[in-house]
Structure 1
Amino acid sequence: MDSEQNKTEMLETAPVGKVFFKYLIPSLTGMMLMALNIVVDGIMVGNRLGPVALAGVGLASPVFTLFLATSLWIGIGGATLFSQAMGERKAKYAQFIFTHSLVLIAGITIIIGLTAFTFQEQLAYMLGSNEETFPYTIDYLNIMLLFGFFFTLENALSTFVRNDQNPNLAMIALVITALSNIGINYYFLYVLNLGVASVAFGTIIASFLGILVLVIHFFRKTNNLRFVPMKFERSLFKNTITVGFPSFLSEVGISVFTVAFNVTLSRIAGTAGLAAFSVLNYVHGVMLMMFLGLGSAVQPLISYYHGAKTFERQRETMKIALRVALLAGAVAFVIGQLGAPQIVSIFGDFPEEIKELAVTGIRLFFTAYIFMGINFVMMTYFQSVAQIRMATWITASREIIFMMIFILVLPLFLGINGVWISVPLAELVVMITILIHVKRNREFRRAF
């Protein structure tokens, strides 16, 4: 009990900057290693199996994203309520929230996977597959649909462990997951000479190893994550999916983004456009993981401070988070402008047409990161303080509404460049709406 009290006192009395970076560094480290894992997967597939296989895996990625979205929907929603309950000193109810969330995630993702598996061929074509990419897309889907629930459980459990004030173990689990996935996929592709299905299977095996690492948390004396008798509670389920909905919508938005880009680029530039986008999408995955790492550091702190009503610490945390987001976005933009050719080259020796499309795409698309980090942090803030309407607006408008408007309209005037700049413009417009909202609302002006 004394150890639990010491952890609580650390959140409430230690310098805000120290607490923030205590969460940020392991969260960011783990997420960036997961991002490295995504990129290395792409590099190995592109170099070993070729650009068409890479495009096929890219077409199947929305399914992976859907599983991640479900785990975040219930996982972030449940973990936010868990941290708020801990801030209110309601440990027993926090444990019920944890149990309720994990059971729901396992059940829902298994049902989704088995249902989609029944219609896998139709799903592959709906995602944008053509005759060339279909075999690779279907191979990836077969494994991910049947065993993807391992990934969702690992992701959700990691979120709860981080919210139970153990960000270092959450980081270690991500490190083990990332490095083992790289090693397993290298062995499958380069030693056993297997195909795309092995890449999906490697992801599942690595996720299972991550779960084994996270189980260590349950043997700590300070552990508050305990499984208690489970019964479905409608009001808790409603609160969980309401609070977690922006996170779910964020991942669904990534699927919408991927499908919209694949369909549009397939129409404008054929398989070359798909291959170019698959390179950009792998790199974009790195940036999303970086901002997700930042959000993973912000969410448990803001949720706890909100529950404990320590609003000054909440305000200081947000100031630091916004500065970090702006700096990270600016650095990413510069890297994209200066290093686009080098980034493309590491994914394989592609034909010149694909190289030119990918280089131009990266340089235009990377403009989005100047605004994206700020938008992501603000969405996390509104979600953590139960301002769900604003959090949902940020997510829906930046990843679906404005992005879809721009990707439908701009190519009519700018061709393929209109596709690349649709996301940067959407992020800019959303950031402006956030600034207007904060300026008009006295409560939020004080908060920042």
Structure 2
Amino acid sequence: MKERIGNLFLKYVSANVLGMIGYSCYILADTFFIARGIGADALAALNLVLPAYSLMNGTGLMIGMGAASRYTISSTKPEGTLHRTIFTQALYLAAFAAVIFSSAGIFLPDRIAAVLGANADTIGYATDYIRILLIFSPLFLGNNLLLSFVRNDGAPRLSMTGMIVGSLTNIVLDYVFIYPLGMGMTGAALATATAPVVSMLIMSVHFIKKRNHFRPVRTRLSLVRWGDICTLGVSSLVTELSSGVVIIVFNYLILGLNGNTGVAAYGILANIALVLVSIYTGIGQGVQPIVSRYAGKDGEEQRRSLRRYALATSLSFALLSYLLIAVFAVPLADLFNRKHDPILTDIASNGMRIYFVSLFFSGINIVAAAFLSSADRPKQAFVISILRGFVLIIPVAWILSVLFGLTGIWMAVPVTEAIVCALALIFLFRKDGALS
């Protein structure tokens, strides 16, 4: 059985880690081409609007992960109606969320950009980007929902392919729209919005070949079922949203210390962090279908094996990632420094070596939240996510910035993640007995 669990872990986690790395490159590609093709103010503007992307993407993950978890858990009782109707309820919920996001993109893009901290130098860039991003929110939400269900329906490699090919499409279109066509921030946003379309087209193979066990059915909208989906998936939303909250708080603090140059430097860190954190999100999404399958008392041994594999994998990735960042911090910063500003490179490279110590703890926290939610323990998953995303990071960042300036801001994430990590480990091991 252990060998079987190991094979399942490798199959699902490898596919999802690769897919999430590709998926996270949506924004990273924008960062590179905007920094090199438009300039530092545009890069600062992109960093300012990332929280809106985090909220939209997190909402899609919440709906997709929550509904897919309930779909897998309920599949052990196929005689009920829940297994057949949960995908449709998730579609209703995604459509409702899409109306809200799209309306905000049509009517309020400039106000949203201002609230997120855009000033006279960045407001135009920020408004152009956020308008397109929110108007096309149905594509992002639909893609997240389909990715979760296709993965849980036994096709993790297909979902991985969709994410990777979509990301590659985004990179190509970023270059075309920003350089030859000169479309600026609008072009970067349009390239990003095209990626989920390509991803969904690839995943449509699952339906064309009739391998799907889920499909839209005629059923009444259920607010109770919406609540259940959100409860199981809220840790995914908070995990994603936490990066947006951190960005907002850090942007305001850094603006007061180093101005737009500091915000641009943090933009480099934040976007690299998106890729690195996506590895842990991929591990969490990879174990989710397997943990949900063994959520009952009879699956305790399998869950213990999965827990060991997941934690060992996250720590291994953390060690490798940090070593690469510590060695190549300056070249990484220079990649996004169009004008070769030595101050920008210095701030970003020094910040990386402090900020990314958090990887050793954040990986455990993200995996723990996904694991607990998939095991139908959403309250504990929510506590982990809310502590690291909101409750601790804001006061810690403010206190450390007062005490140590910009260095204190870089320290805030590692300190917060380390505190939450202690609690996450207690939650993970308490129910299943002693550490083993």
Q: 1:381 aligns with which of 352, 355, 371?
A: 371
Q: 1:212 to 1:21 in 2, by over 3 A?
A: same
Q: Cα distance, 1:434 vs. partner? A: 2.5
Counterpart check, 1:207 vs 2:189 = no
- Taking the aligned partners of 1:143 and 1:396, their CA distance within structure 2 comes to 29
Equivalent residues of 2:45, 2:123 under 8 A apart: yes
Q: Cα distance, 1:144 vs. partner? A: 1.2
1:126-145 to 2 correspondences below 5 Å: 126-145=115-134
Which stretches in structure 1 are left out of the alignment for 5+ residues? 1-11
Equivalent residues of 2:239, 2:366 under 8 A apart: no
Deviates more, 1:252-261 or 1:412-421: 252-261
TM score, norm. by length of structure 1: 0.93
In the other structure, the counterpart of 2:432 is 444
Q: 1:165 to 1:438 in 2, by over 3 A?
A: closer
Equivalent residues of 1:64, 1:148 under 8 A apart: no
Q: 2:329 aligns with which of 327, 340, 355?
A: 340
In the other structure, the counterpart of 1:426 is 416
In the other structure, the counterpart of 2:354 is 364
Equivalent residues of 2:364, 2:424 under 8 A apart: no
Counterpart check, 1:406 vs 2:396 = yes
In the other structure, the counterpart of 1:192 is 181
- How many positions carry a matched residue from both structures? 435
Name the amino acid aligned to 1:374. I
1:256-267 to 2 correspondences below 5 Å: 256-267=245-256
1:45-444 to 2 correspondences below 5 Å: 45-90=34-79, 93-115=82-104, 117-306=106-295, 309-349=298-338, 350-437=340-427, 441=430, 443-444=431-432
Equivalent residues of 2:29, 2:170 under 8 A apart: no
Post-superposition Cα deviations, 1:113-153, rounded to whole Å, max 9, x if no partner, equal 20354222221111011111111000101111211221111
Q: Cα distance, 1:411 vs. partner? A: 0.9
Which stretches in structure 2 are left out of the alignment for 5+ residues? none
- Taking the aligned partners of 2:69 and 2:428, their CA distance within structure 1 comes to 22
Q: Cα distance, 1:37 vs. partner? A: 4.2
TM score, norm. by length of structure 2: 0.96
Post-superposition Cα deviations, 1:271-315, rounded to whole Å, max 9, x if no partner, equal 111110111111011112111111110111101111584221121
- Taking the aligned partners of 2:270 and 2:82, their CA distance within structure 1 comes to 40
- Taking the aligned partners of 2:3 and 2:288, their CA distance within structure 1 comes to 18
Equivalent residues of 2:300, 2:432 under 8 A apart: no
- Taking the aligned partners of 1:438 and 1:297, their CA distance within structure 2 comes to 17
Post-superposition Cα deviations, 1:11-38, rounded to whole Å, max 9, x if no partner, equal x896111111011111111111223443
Q: Cα distance, 1:48 vs. partner? A: 0.6
Q: Cα distance, 1:173 vs. partner? A: 0.5
Name the amino acid aligned to 2:423. T
Q: 1:277 to 1:258 in 2, by over 3 A?
A: same
Equivalent residues of 2:118, 2:126 under 8 A apart: yes
| Percent of residue pairs bearing the same amino acid type | 27
- Taking the aligned partners of 2:255 and 2:79, their CA distance within structure 1 comes to 53
Equivalent residues of 1:218, 1:225 under 8 A apart: no
Q: Cα distance, 1:90 vs. partner? A: 4.8
In the other structure, the counterpart of 1:25 is 14
Equivalent residues of 1:306, 1:385 under 8 A apart: yes
> SS of the residue aligned with 2:118?
coil
- Taking the aligned partners of 2:24 and 2:114, their CA distance within structure 1 comes to 27
Equivalent residues of 2:105, 2:133 under 8 A apart: no
- Taking the aligned partners of 1:275 and 1:222, their CA distance within structure 2 comes to 46
Post-superposition Cα deviations, 1:86-119, rounded to whole Å, max 9, x if no partner, equal 2334585323101110221122122232035422
Equivalent residues of 1:88, 1:308 under 8 A apart: no
- Taking the aligned partners of 2:418 and 2:27, their CA distance within structure 1 comes to 27
Name the amino acid aligned to 2:61. L
Equivalent residues of 2:101, 2:135 under 8 A apart: no
- Taking the aligned partners of 1:445 and 1:308, their CA distance within structure 2 comes to 13
**Superposed structure 1 runs of 4+ greater than 6 Å apart:** none
Q: 1:221 to 1:438 in 2, by over 3 A?
A: closer
Equivalent residues of 2:85, 2:219 under 8 A apart: yes
Q: Cα distance, 1:234 vs. partner? A: 2.8
Name the amino acid aligned to 1:88. K
Equivalent residues of 2:265, 2:348 under 8 A apart: yes
- Taking the aligned partners of 1:87 and 1:315, their CA distance within structure 2 comes to 20
